[in-house]
Structure 1
Amino acid sequence: MNFETIIYEVKDNICYITINRPKALNALNVQALTELSKALDVAAEDENAKVIIITGAGGRAFVAGADISAMQMMTAEEAYDYARLGQTTYNKIQDLPKIVIAAIDGFALGGGCELALACDIRVASEKSQIGIPEVTLGVFPGFAGTQRLPRLVGTGMAKEMLATARKIHAAEAKEIGLVNYVVPENPVAKAEELAAQICKNSMSAVALGKRAMNEGMEMELKKGIEHEAALFAVAFTTADQREGMTAFLEKRPANFK
């Protein structure tokens, strides 16, 4: 793919989307967000891409935030449009019928934290720091951070992170459930390990399971349970269900397409 701020590549059924603005610590301006949105569209349709890893170039930051220089003189109307661009882009990650893993190496602040929150799984290196420091700039998170963060870590911790603007180091992030794994270095390698494990399984079942969780979390519990049953039934219309159960009964590995 020909992008200026994004590197897109696929290898061994893993799609790598790298935010490539290292001199700006991969800060997200309108161009980067627009290209990220397009890259996600490509990944959604790419049959060779079973799992997606999102990371940042340069080794200093995943994404250090939004581009403050581009935001400083925005009008309220422009700020709304900018927030909606970030939100709709990140919503694509949530809605993708594929697992998306954030490989965080360095700063994941503001819009970078929100990007990680939109992903399904988060892996961070020990040096990483994660936070939403927007209140130090006179604003607050606008790329769905006020919605996704409390759903992940609880409202008490989310409000503390919002109001204090403090950066959470990787070990604490793991402790509060903000990241799944902390590794000494090279979080992409751990992300690849997880991706390879995921790729062995039924992609249709993973997609339906992700959808059941995402949509069910927005429902009252009994409605969510009913929704799960409906999607569970859909799984029984797939070739993967027939192959998976046949393979189990024949005591052989399943050969999912």
Structure 2
Amino acid sequence: MSATSPPDLGFPTDVPDEPGLISLRREGELAWITIERPQVMNCLSFPALRRFRTLLAELRGDLSLRCILITGSGTRAFCTGADLKERRTMAPERVGEFVHHIRSLMDDVQALPQPTIGVVNGFALGGGTELLLACDLRVAAPHATLGLTETSLAIIPGAGGTQRLPRLIGKSRAKDLILTARRVDAVEALDIGLVNRIATSTDGPDDTSDGNQVRRTLDECARNLAATIAQNGPIAVRAAKEAIDSGGEVSLAQGLDHESRCYASTLETQDRVEALAAFAEKRLPRFKGS
């Protein structure tokens, strides 16, 4: 962790930064960010938002990390969005500040140069699904439940859901989920492209009644996916992510031009030289991110 002063993210001065709400664990070139509020389904309070955004600001410049995994503590919930009990106590102007920061959290996640994986260990509702949409990839436990349920509360998704969901699964499917506020299970989420993997055991049928075993299987699946990404050239992985993300917002011609610039950024790297040498010598490459 950085010894420098935490970044100024514009939070109200009376919102504390509480380290215990969001944890960071490093595993070599991987990092796990975990929402540590299982007793309230890992919903996001104002202090949790501050801790989360502070951690992301610190990790953004750490390019020794090749993948960041985001999950919730326990086996019941990934994240169920905003802390509605806290929200009920807020004055209208305070609600506006909170919405600004939860929207900014999703932007922070999407803007990370490192690839991100959302690890869905149960319910991911409202802002929880919006957090997943900001990640690059999503791995779900068999019992995961996802949904943008805000219209059932007489509001709409306000942290990017109305924009990121249709870009991921298409307008018609996004309208189906948002207008009905219905929830989808892991199988349907995989079928419509909302998640990339369902974590299943290689030892036989999953016993979803054993929450701890399901959790271990989920973490192993997500870790293996992250490790597969991490074994590739880190500069190239970041460039590919940037090209895909930027190209989706412009015309094809503009996207191809941006791809060309991202490709050029990989040509002068030592990693590219190492990849060619490893191919010629019939060995695995040893990428250093340079």
Same fold (TM over 0.5): yes
Shift of 1:46: 3.2
Residue in structure 2 matching 1:65, options 69, 78, 81: 81
Residues 1:217 and 2:248 aligned together: yes
Q: Deviations over 1:30-89 (max 9, x none)?
A: 111111111112222335422111110021000012111222354554333222211221
Q: Is the 8 A contact 1:103 1:124 kept in 2?
A: yes
Which of residues 117, 125, 128 in structure 1 aligns to 2:141?
A: 125
Which residue in the other structure is 1:46 paired with? 62
Matched residue, 1:109: 125
Cα deviation, 1:184-220, whole Å, max 9, x if unaligned, reads: 4332211100111111111100000000000110111
CA RMSD between the two structures: 1.6
Q: What is the distance in 1 between the residues matched to 2:191 and 2:95?
A: 34
Percent identity at matched positions?
A: 39
SS at match of 1:123: strand
Say if 1:5 and 1:20, in contact at 8 Å, map to a contact too: yes
Tell me whether 247-256 or 95-104 shows the greater mean CA deviation. Answer: 247-256
| TM-score normalised over the length of structure 2 | 0.84
Distance of 2:93 and 2:66 partners within structure 1: 38
SS at match of 2:68: strand
Give the match for residue 237 of structure 1: 268
Structure 1 length-normalised TM? 0.95
Q: Which whole-Å deviations, capped at 9, do the CAs of 1:110-145 have from their partners, x for residues lacking one?
A: 010000110011000111100011111111111111
Match of 2:285 in 1: 254
Counterpart Cα distance in 2 of 1:210 and 1:92: 15
* Structure 2 stretches lacking a partner, 5+ long: 2-17, 201-213
Candidates 226, 236, 241, aligned match of 1:205 = 236
Q: Which has the higher contact order (CA 8 A, sep 6+)?
A: 1
CA distance in 2: counterparts of 1:97 and 1:248, whole angstroms: 27
| C-alpha distance in 2 between matches for 1:47 and 1:217 | 24
Query: Residue 12 of structure 1: CA displacement?
Result: 2.6
Query: Residues 10 and 48 of structure 1 are in contact (CA less than 8 Å); yes or no, is this contact kept in structure 2?
Result: no
Would you say how many aligned residue pairs link Structure 1 and Structure 2?
Answer: 257
Instruction: Give the partner amino acid of 2:252.
Output: L
Alpha-carbon separation, structure 1, partners of 2:46 and 2:159? 13
Deviation at 1:103, TM superposition (A): 0.7
Stretches of 4+ moved more than 4 A in 1? Answer: 73-76
Which structure 2 residues correspond to residues 1-257 of structure 1 after superposition, within 5 A? 3-72=19-88, 74-184=90-200, 185-186=214-215, 187-257=218-288
Q: 2: distance between equivalents of 1:192 and 1:176?
A: 23
One-letter code aligned to 1:208: A
**Secondary structure, counterpart of 1:66 in structure 2:** coil
Report deviation, 1:254.
1.3
- Partner residue in 1 for 2:14: none
Looking at structure 1, the residues matched to 164 and 219 of structure 2 have their Cα atoms a distance apart, in angstroms, of 23
Deviates more, 1:203-212 or 1:33-42: 33-42
